[in-house]
Amino acid sequence: MALSESSTDNYALIDPDVRLMLEVRDGSAAAFEELMLRYQSRLVTVLEHLVGRRGQAEDLAQEVFLRVYRSRERYTPGARFSTWLFTIANNVALNAKRSRSRRREVNVEPAESGAFGAAPLEQMAQAASGQMPTRQLDKAELRDVVRLAIATLSERQRMAVLLSKFEEMSYADIGAAMDMTPQAIKSLLSRARENLRTALEPYLQRGDRPAPEVP
């Protein structure tokens, strides 16, 4: 996309990370290291919940940084830096999924009815109701339930939820990162949040809160 000089300047003005990336483009190694330090944990967090495995998430994050590095000389600010980075992350994650499918690996990622396969929502609900003891769930159990709930979403829903929740991106930015319109993101997130509410409903109705951790 061709960008005017003024829009490039605008992004550089409002986003300090764009300015850092422009320094990377001009050959600053320190700026690249700084960007990595700023984003590596955030990136791995999103990727881990997207693909479900920490090790794979770290590998993918390294791939994302490598792509950033390789693209540096062509870099022109067309969005916030985080939007650009997560656009790359989304592409890397999709490619990884395609490769896995080609290798016919057993995929642990469940998917919601729709784009990526059969819905395990009922399974999830059964699991949840099976885990509904009279006692309160402890922190680890609740975390697992939430992981399971996230896993019931389609990949696109999951990515949108993670970018909204952890990166606090606007619909427009999520749309830019996922190559969708803001209106499509609005619908996607609406369905995703409804699915999450359904999956987690037993816990909400009971007002379950994690029991305090015993040291």
Partner 1 sequence: MNESLSQGADGAEFREQFVAYLDGELDAAAASEIERRLAREPQVQRELQQLQQAWDLLDRLPQAELDDKFTRSTVEMIAVAAEEAAERPARPRAARWGWARKVAALAMACAAGFAIVRFGWPDANEQLLRDLPLLENLEAYRQTPSVEFLWAAAFFAEGSESQRAVEDLSQRKVRVESMAPEEKEQLWRRYERLRVLSGDEQARLRSLEAQIGRDAEAGKLRQVVAGYQHWLEQLSSAERAELFNLDSEERLKRIARRRAEAADRLGPEDAKAFADWFEASLLKQRPALAAIPREGLRKAQIRQIVESFLARSDARWPPAPAAQGQKRAAWGPQDFASLREALSDKARRQLDKAALPLERRTLLIGWLRQVYGPGAGGRRPDLSQGLSEERLHKFFAEELDDAERARLLSLPLDQMQRQLRQLYWQRHGPGKAFAAPGKVAR
Residue 39 touches partner 1, criterion: CB under 8 A: yes
Give the binding-site size for partner 1 (rule: CB under 8 A).
64
Residue 138 touches partner 1, criterion: CB under 8 A: no
Residue 100 touches partner 1, criterion: CB under 8 A: no
Contact 77, 8 (CB under 8 A): yes
CA dist., res. 180 & res. 125, Å (int): 30
CA dist., res. 23 & res. 5, Å (int): 17
Site string for partner 1, 168-207 (x = CB under 8 A): x-xx--------------xx-xx--xx-xxxxxx-xx---
CA dist., res. 42 & res. 208, Å (int): 28
Residue 121 touches partner 1, criterion: CB under 8 A: no
- Smallest gap from Cβ 156 to partner 1, in A, equals 16
Task: Show the tokens assigned to 205.
Answer: 């109705």
Query: In angstroms, how far is the first alpha carbon of the chain from the final one?
Result: 55
Residue 151 touches partner 1, criterion: CB under 8 A: no
- Nearer to partner 1 among residue 87 and residue 164 (C-beta): 164
- Smallest gap from Cβ 104 to partner 1, in A, equals 28
- Smallest gap from Cβ 177 to partner 1, in A, equals 15
Q: Which of 44, 85, 88, 151 binds partner 1 (CB under 8 A)?
A: 44
Residue 40 touches partner 1, criterion: CB under 8 A: yes
Which residue type, as a one-letter code, is found at position 198?
T
CA dist., res. 149 & res. 152, Å (int): 5
Residue 95 touches partner 1, criterion: CB under 8 A: no
Task: Show the tokens assigned to 51.
Answer: 């693909």
